[in-house]
Amino acid sequence: MKRILASALVGLAPVIALAQSYSPNQGVSGLFNFAGAILNRAVPFIISLAVVFFIYNVFMYVIKENEDDKTKAKNQMIWGIVGIFVMVSIWGLVAILQSTFGTSGVTGNIGNQLPQI
């Protein structure tokens, strides 16, 4: 458990360092830019974790001799492929929508476009 926690902290170190880039005086647009920057870094990290999960289950399928363990590893491989497909498909769909509507994500100053109350 300590190894997993240490690995997660090391993997999230760039995101933690990115927290310095937001200050509350930037308003809502700064918050959106900050959230977009975190998501831009988190999505490839999560996809890479899903690929590692899939490869781990491939090795478990090859190594195990018991049929029940092989079936469990095979089911987890299938769900790993489904998860990777869904993540990459949504990521691609967002990119297609951004290019279709001519946006580049949540970058830039959008403070002037928000309604004033």
Specify whether the backbone of 34 is left (phi greater than 0), alpha (psi in -120 to 50) or beta: alpha
> What percentage of residues in the chain have a pLDDT greater than 90?
32
Domain residue ranges in the chain: 2-108
With 90 as the cut, is the pLDDT of residue 117 above it? no
pLDDT above 80 (res 53): yes
- What integer pLDDT is reported at residue 108 of this predicted model? 46
User: Measured between alpha carbons, how far is 94 from 36 in angstroms, rounded to an integer?
Assistant: 13
Look at the block and give the residue holding tokens 């690929």.
51
Is the per-residue pLDDT at 111 higher than 60?
A: no
In the predicted model, is pLDDT for residue 110 greater than 80?
Answer: no
HSE-up (13 A, CA, CB side) for residue 47: 15
pTM, full prediction: 0.61
